A and B are shown apart, each in its own frame.
Chain A
Amino acid sequence: MSTKATVEDVKRLASLARVDVPEEALASFAAEFDSILAYVGKLDELKLADSDRVLTTVRNVLRTDEGAYAPGTWTKAITDQFPAKEGESLSVKKILNHD
C-alpha cells in the first residue's frame, strides 16, 4: 500500500465528498494524507489468512413498527430549522434542467 497521494487524488476525493479544497491547501492536504496513509499502511505488514470475517452472535434487531406519532407532532420544530420553505415544504433548487 505504498500509495503516494497526489494533488489530483485530493481533488478527486474532495469532489466525491462534495467539499472544495482551495488550490493553496491541496499540497498540504496531500502531504498530510501521505503521512497518515504511511502510518495506516502498517496494516500491510499483517498477513492474514484469506478467510471470511469471524461472525459474531450479535444480530440486527429491529423494533416492531408501531406507536407512531400523531401527524404534525414534530412538524413545526423541524420545519422551523429549514433554511427556506413554502408553507410546510422544504424549498430546494431544481435538480433537472431542461434548457
Chain B
Amino acid sequence: MTKLLNELSIVEAARGLRAKEFSVRELWDACANAAKEKNPALNAYLELFDAGEEAIAAAQTRIDTEGEQAPLLCGIPIAMKDNILIKGHIASASSKMLANYTATYDATITKKLKEAGVLFVGRTNMDEFAMGSSTEHSAYGTTKNPLDVSRVPGGSSGGSSAAASAHTALAALGTDTGGSIRQPAAHTGLVGMKPTYGAISRSGLIALGSSLDQAGPLAKTVADAKILYDVMKGKDILDATTISSDTYPVRETGTHMRIGVPRHLLTEGLDADVLARFEETLEALKSAGHTVHDIELPTSGYALPVYYVIMPAESSANLARFDGMRYGLAERGASLLEDYVKSKTAGFGAETIRRILLGTFVLSSGYIDAYYRKAEKVRDILRAEYTSAFDVCDVIAFPTTPSPAFKFGEKSDPVSMYLEDVFTVTANLTGMPAISVPMGNVERDGTSLPTGIHFTAPHGADDVLFKIGALVTGETL
C-alpha cells in the first residue's frame, strides 16, 4: 500500500523530493488539502496559512539546484503552535487576550526553520497560554483526538499533536512546560521531545514558566524529531539561558544502554494495561542486550506539588505584562486601574485566572517561604537525585502518562487534570531532556489507543534520547 504524500515522514518526503517522485507543490497541496478537509471536525488549527507561490517555488529551486546539500526540511510542511511567533501572523496562545496580536518578529526557531525552507501549514490550537493537558482550556474550542474524536488530543500542544497525527502536516512544533509536548505525543501515537533547558532558544515564545519552558518537536518518527531538533538547537544571543555544546560534559553510552526504572513510582495510579505495555517494551530492550536497573528517586513523589508552586509563580509574573496597554485586548474603564482590571478579566479564561491567583498567593508575603522557597529547595533535591541516578544508568524510563487519552470533561476538577503530568513535570523541574515514544496500544470502549514510554537523560545528553527512542521504534538513525 502506497502512502499518500501527507502521510509520509520527513525523511521519506525529503527522499521523494530529491528523487523527483513528487514536487514541493504536490507535497504542500496534499497537506494543505488534508488540513482543510479535516480541520472542521478536529479544530486542530486556529488558522490555516497560504505558503505562497514564491516560498514553494524557492524551496523547489533549492532542492533542484542543491540536491543532497539542501536542508532536509526544505519544502516540508510543518504545523506551528499558536504561542511561537511567526512575523506578520497572529500568535494568540489560544487566548482572547491576544486574539488581535500580530507578531512583529520571528521567534529564533521560526527563523531557523524558515532558513531551512520549512513551509508552515497553520497555527495550532492549545490550552490558553499552555495551561492545561487537554486543549479544553482554549478560548477557541477544544481540539479532538484524530484517533477517537470523543477523546482529548492531550495538551497543551493538543492542536499540534492532532495536526501531525491526522497527517495534515508532516510534523508539528510544540512547547513543553510540564509535559505539553510529551503527553499529547503519547495520546496521539507520536514521538514528542523536550530538549535540555537552554538547548533551544526561547526567544519569540509566549512565556509560561520561564525556568521550565522549552520548545520541541512532535513527529511521526524519532528520526524526524531529531531532524527538527538539530535545526532548532543552539546558542542564541537573544536568549541568555541558551547553552553551548560544551556547557555539559559529553555522555558516552555503550552499544548497550543501561535503563534505570524507578519501580517505586509505578506501584499505584497507573492503568494495568499501560504498565503491561511498559514491561513488554523493557523486555524487548532487554532481549536486544540492553540492561534494566532498579533505581530510587525518593523525592519524585513531590515533583508535581513543587511544579504547582513554581509554574503558577512564574506564570503570574509572566502574564502580568498583558494589561491592555500596548497590544492585545484593550477594555476601557473610568481609570487606568480599571483599564487593567477590565482587560485582564475579559482577556483571561478561568484556568489562567486560577493560576495567576495561585501564583500571586505562593509569592505573597507570609507564604513565600512555606511555598515558593521550599519548592525551589525541593527542586534542587530532585535535580541531585536524578544526577546521582545517572551514575548507574544512561536513561530513566517510565510510562509518559498513567492512562491513555481521556474523554472530554472527564477531568473536570483542577487537581485530577494536573495529575496527567505526574510523570512528565520532573524533567522540566530538573531541566533534563526527555522524550516520549509510542510503546503500543491499549483498548478503551472498543477503540485502540496509543501509549508512550518516557525516557529522561542527563543534561546535554539529548542525542542519547534519540538513540534509545530509535531502539524502541526499531528505526536506524
- Number of interchain pairs (Cβ within 8 Å): 129
Q: Is the Cβ of B101 less than 8 Å from the Cβ of A81? A: yes
Contact partner of A43 (CB less than 8 A), chosen from B309, B324, B358, B361, is B309
- Give the residues from 42 to 80 in chain A that come closer than 8 angstroms, CB to CB, to chain B: 42-44, 46, 48, 53-54, 60-63, 74, 77-78, 80
Q: Does B336 contact A (CB under 8 A)?
A: yes
Q: Is the Cβ of B380 less than 8 Å from the Cβ of A54? A: yes
Q: Is the Cβ of B378 less than 8 Å from the Cβ of A46? A: yes
Q: Is the Cβ of A62 less than 8 Å from the Cβ of B240? A: yes
Q: Does B270 contact A (CB under 8 A)?
A: no
Q: Is the Cβ of A43 less than 8 Å from the Cβ of B375? A: yes
Given A29-B357, A81-B326, A19 and B341 contact (CB-CB distance below 8 Å): yes
Give the chain A neighbours of B415 by CB distance below 8 A.
Answer: 35-36, 39
Q: Does B384 contact A (CB under 8 A)?
A: yes
- Give the interface size bracket for A toward B: 35 or more
Q: Is the Cβ of B336 less than 8 Å from the Cβ of A39? A: no
B288-332 to A contact mask, C-beta < 8 Å, 1/0: 000000000001011011101100000010001001111110100
Q: Is the Cβ of A43 less than 8 Å from the Cβ of B354? A: no
Contact partner of B302 (CB less than 8 A), chosen from A29, A46, A84, is A46
Number of B positions contacting A (CB below 8 A): 58
Determine the distance from Cα of A61 to Cα of B242 in the docked complex, in whole angstroms.
10
Give the chain B neighbours of A40 by CB distance below 8 A.
Answer: 305, 308-309, 362, 371
Give the chain A neighbours of B316 by CB distance below 8 A.
Answer: 17
Determine the distance from Cα of A92 to Cα of B324 in the docked complex, in whole angstroms.
10
Q: Is the Cβ of A78 less than 8 Å from the Cβ of B364? A: no
Given A17-B360, A19-B353, A81-B326, A32 and B413 contact (CB-CB distance below 8 Å): yes
Residue of A with least CB distance to B235: A61
Contact partner of A48 (CB less than 8 A), chosen from B328, B348, B378, is B378
B415 CB to nearest chain A CB (Å) = 5
Q: Is the Cβ of B376 less than 8 Å from the Cβ of A19? A: no
Determine the distance from Cα of A67 to Cα of B237 in the docked complex, in whole angstroms.
11
Determine the distance from Cα of A78 to Cα of B103 in the docked complex, in whole angstroms.
9
Give the chain B neighbours of A29 by CB distance below 8 A.
Answer: 354, 357
Q: Is the Cβ of B341 less than 8 Å from the Cβ of A20? A: yes
Residue of A with least CB distance to B197: A58
Q: Does A94 contact B (CB under 8 A)?
A: yes
Q: Is the Cβ of B104 less than 8 Å from the Cβ of A77? A: yes
Give the chain B neighbours of A21 by CB distance below 8 A.
Answer: 353, 357
Q: Is the Cβ of A43 less than 8 Å from the Cβ of B384? A: no
A87 CB to nearest chain B CB (Å) = 15
Q: Is the Cβ of B377 less than 8 Å from the Cβ of A53? A: yes
Q: Is the Cβ of A94 less than 8 Å from the Cβ of B327? A: no
Q: When A and B form their complex, which 4 residue pairs have the shortest distance between CB atoms, in order from nearest?
A: A83-B330, A81-B327, A77-B104, A20-B345
